[in-house]
Amino acid sequence: MSGETTQGDGQGAGGGKAVEQREPQSGRGTTTIADSVVSKVAGIAAREVPGVHDMGGGAARAVGSLTSRIGLSEARTQGVGVEVGEREAAVDLSLTIDYGESIPQVSNAVRDNVAKRIEGITGLSVTEVNITVNDLYFPGEETEQEPPPPPRVA
Amino acid sequence: MPQGYSTDPAAATVAPATDRLRLAEVALAAALKVDGLVAPRAALAGGGSTQGSGRRVDGVSVVAGAEERFDVSLHLVTRMVPLHPLADRVRERVSGAAGRAGLGDRLGPVGVRIEDLAETPAGAGMLEAAP
């Protein structure tokens, strides 16, 4: 069922806009997908690709780790920017890639997977996936994180 | 004490649900039976709610529309599945359930708003998109 797509003005879960797909033929109602949903699909799809270690730059990862731990942000959308139009979406991704992997190959695989997932799940056509490789990950470079405190109640 | 006022809890009556509230309850219950749906999203969390008769139904807003029908808007959290087919299944379920509840002639357009996606377990990956 193909539909006309218009920009919604509602506030999504992440406080963003949403794209609204109308079905003028049936008149039975509209389907609206929050922008944050498109961001989350893009973030998860990028992380599915082998060679992608993390999303976002160093500072974004540090801040994102803190804010997601206290529930202020969504880790799955870290390093993801989306622009959602009437029928199309453009995605900007910021990646950290494992040292030794081919950056062009990983980038192309990310592009393909993100476009496939967004088109499959949301029905939006992906016009571009722009990738910035912010950092390389070397095994063992991460700092030891403190283990979470034991639960205080059984 | 004003005449007619009773402190007896047993004497308290619950106002009967209006068609609007019944429609909200029926629509939400039907929608949540669709495979791929996880939860409604309440107004306080950026979704919608319907209140009346001392009750509140989170995740659905029902407002009077044209021709004595009610416009229904469902605010939902789903799994990673193709969303438009999912929304179509939700509409079908809601339409069927409203008809069985005797509210078919009050049901207007059913809007489906995907507010968020539920997390998939680590390593589980996403569900394959339907062709």
pLDDT of the residue at A13: 37
Q: Give the torsion through C-alpha atoms of A112, A117, A123, A128, to 10 deg.
A: -30
Instruction: Quote the distance between the C-alpha of residue B33 and its chain's center.
Output: 11
Residues from chain B that touch A33, judged by Cβ atoms under 8 A, are 83, 113-114
Arithmetic mean of pLDDT over chain A: 77
Overall average pLDDT of the A48-74 stretch: 70
What pLDDT does residue B107 have? 94
Question: What are the DSSP E strand ranges found in A16-79?
Answer: 18-22, 31-34, 52-55
Cβ contact A117:A46 at 8 Å: no
| Residue scoring higher pLDDT (A111 or B13) | A111
- Please state the domain extents for chain A: 35-137
User: Residue B56: beta bridge partners?
Assistant: B51
Cα separation of B59 and A154, whole Å? 33
Q: In this complex, do A1 and B84 lie within 8 Å of one another by their Cβ atoms?
A: yes
Q: Tell me, what's the pLDDT at B55?
A: 84
pLDDT at B6 over 50: no
Looking at domain A35-137, which CATH architecture does it have? Answer: 2-Layer Sandwich (3.30)
Residue tagged 């006309």 (tokens) = A4
Angle at CA of residue B115, ends B112 and B121, nearest 5°: 120
For A112-137, what is each residue's pLDDT tens digit? Answer: 999 999 999 999 999 999 999 999 99
Distance of CA B61 to the CA centre of its chain: 7
**Residue scoring higher pLDDT (A60 or A101):** A101
A93 reaches B (C-beta below 8 A): no
> Residue B45's pLDDT is what?
73
In single-letter form, the type of residue at position B17 comes to: A
pLDDT of B111: 94
- B112·A18 Cβ contact <8 A: no
Q: What is residue B26's predicted lDDT score, i.e. its pLDDT?
A: 95
Residues of A in contact with B112 (CB under 8 A): 29-32
Give CA separation, A107 vs A35, A122, B41, B66, in Å. Answer: 23, 22, 35, 50
pLDDT for residue A152: 73
CA B122 to chain centre: 30
Q: How many angstroms separate the CA atoms of B115 and A101, rounded?
A: 36
The answer to whether residue A84 scores a pLDDT higher than 60 is yes
- Name chain A contacts of B115, Cβ cutoff 8 Å: 12-13, 34, 37
% chain A with pLDDT above 70: 65
What is the structure's pLDDT at B73? 94
- Which residues, including other chains, have CB under 8 Å from residue A111's CB and lie 6 or more apart? A129, A131
Q: What is the share, in percent, of chain B residues with pLDDT greater than 70? A: 78
Pair of tokens at residue B19: 């068609």
Determine phi and psi for B24, rounding to 5 degrees: -60, -45
Cα dist from A145 to A54, A65, A78, A141, A142, whole Å = 16, 11, 20, 12, 8
Mean pLDDT, chain B, rounded, equals 81
Distance of residue B23 Cα from the nearest chain A Cα, in angstroms:
16
> How large is the average pLDDT for residues B4-19?
58
Residues comprising chain B, all counted: 131
- Whether B130 shows a pLDDT value over 60: the answer reads no
The pLDDT of B1-20, averaged and rounded, is 57
Structural domains for chain B: 16-117 (3.30.70.1350)
Question: Could you read off the pLDDT of B34-80 as tens digits, one per residue?
Answer: 999 998 887 777 778 898 777 889 999 999 888 889 999 999 999 99
**DSSP code for B50:** E
| pLDDT for position B66 | 86
Residue where the block lists tokens 């780790």: A65
User: What is the distance between the alpha carbons of residues A126 and A84, in angstroms, rounded to a whole number?
Assistant: 9
pLDDT band at A11 (very low <50, low <70, confident <90, very high): very low
Cα angle: B88, vertex A77, A83; to 5 degrees: 70
Burial of A119 from C-beta contacts in 10 A (0-12 / 13-18 / 19+): middle
